[in-house]
Amino acid sequence: MTETLVLVGFIIAVAFIFDFTNGFHDAANAIATSVATRALSPKVALTMAAAMNFIGAMIGTGVATTIGGGIIDITEAHRSASGANYAGLVIVLGALAGAITWNLITWWFGLPSSSSHALIGGLAGAGLVGAITVHWDVILDKVIIPMVVSPLVGFLIAYFLMKLVLQLLANATYKSTMRRFRHAQTISAAALALGHGLQDAQKTMGVVVIALIAGGYHEDPSVIPVWVKLGAALAISLGTYAGGGRIMKTLGQKIIDLDPARGFVAEITGASVLYTTAFLWEAPISTTHTITCAIMGVGATKRKSAVRWGIAGNIVTAWIFTLPAAATVSAAATWLLLHLVPV
């Protein structure tokens, strides 16, 4: 029993480390546009984003429930003679290893890939090697379809909303208008950071619940203990505050040259998509995908060449490879752990 408790504690610590890497990896999602348009300084933007991440993490559990009980069935993992589900715990650990590895690789190269999909790919790959049920129907409905739909919706809403803003303000004075939008970006960036916490911290909560169930310390995946919510909220907030400069530069400068109006519209669009999918669909969508496509959408209202489609293509390539790459790394890590840890 002591070994089980130690292993569960270790996995929870690793899950919170993943949450921390999610924070510094995805911090740019919420603040890149505001920093690029000089609406906020990097330090102020990071502080605000960290605070809103924490608040967002505490206001919902739908996504956490999807991750905790919908992706893999951890109760099917082989139990030892003592009844301990070491195999299930190893599967969770392998999934986290794959997700963290992919997060670090894409962060190093400055690619805004999805931590969400890295984690889900990790769970699927580890589940396959661990010979437990992987709920492909849930992955299709809650992951694959939203993965395609949410960026497309983000692009289209941002494009048409920006067109509407341009028409309404066609006769407005440019400098004063941009100044007002620069102030408004404080609100839109905070809204996006709240949505990031609402979506991404919940995914870590779901993984912790899986570990608790595997260890025999929890039963209902739909119930998220308060301490789990607080731990995930704190980890992602600290990670956000720690940085995100590499990806911030990609989102804020390399895709298009942003002005405050376009930054505001992109952030409001991204936030609205995050809230809708979290509360109505309970789908763990990618904050990264959504805001990146929203930035492309507002950029396309200038002219097609305003969007640097080569950079955008590199980002999309990283998105496509995230699920299989994380699944592959997790599968390898799980196979190795299952052969090293007596289960």
pLDDT tens per residue across span 145-163:
888 888 889 999 999 999 9
* pLDDT average, residue stretch 105-112: 72
pLDDT given for residue 292 in this prediction: 81
pLDDT given for residue 252 in this prediction: 46
DSSP string, 115-139: HHHHHHHHHHHHHHHTT--B-HHHH
User: Which residue shows structure tokens 């962060």?
Assistant: 107
pLDDT tens per residue across span 296-314:
888 888 866 656 666 666 6
Average predicted confidence (pLDDT) for the chain: 83
pLDDT tens per residue across span 250-281:
554 554 567 889 889 999 999 999 999 888 87
List C-alpha distances in Å: 15 to 18, 27, 178, 327.
Answer: 5, 18, 42, 16
Does the pLDDT at position 98 exceed 90?
no
Give CA 145 to chain center in angstroms: 16
* pLDDT average, residue stretch 69-84: 71
The verdict on pTM exceeding 0.85 is no
pLDDT given for residue 330 in this prediction: 93
Interatomic CA distance for residues 14 and 331, integer angstroms:
17
pLDDT given for residue 230 in this prediction: 94
When pLDDT is cut at 50, 70 and 90, the band that residue 327 belongs to is very high
pLDDT tens per residue across span 9-51:
999 999 998 888 778 766 666 677 777 777 888 778 888 888 9
DSSP string, 67-133: HHHHSB-GGGSPP-TTS--HHHHHHHHHHHHHHHHHHHHHHHTT----HHHHHHHHHHHHHHHTT--
Q: Does residue 204 contact residue 95 with C-beta atoms inside 8 Å?
A: no
List C-alpha distances in Å: 97 to 43, 86, 119, 240, 308.
Answer: 30, 16, 9, 20, 33
* Sign of the dihedral through C-alpha 291, 297, 299, 304: positive
pLDDT tens per residue across span 236-255:
988 888 765 555 555 545 54
When pLDDT is cut at 50, 70 and 90, the band that residue 65 belongs to is confident
Burial (CB count <10 Å: 0-12, 13-18, 19+), residue 238: middle
pLDDT given for residue 257 in this prediction: 65
* pLDDT average, residue stretch 307-328: 75
pLDDT given for residue 315 in this prediction: 65
% of the chain surpassing 90 pLDDT: 25
pLDDT given for residue 99 in this prediction: 85
pLDDT given for residue 84 in this prediction: 56
| pLDDT greater at residue 287 or residue 180 | 180
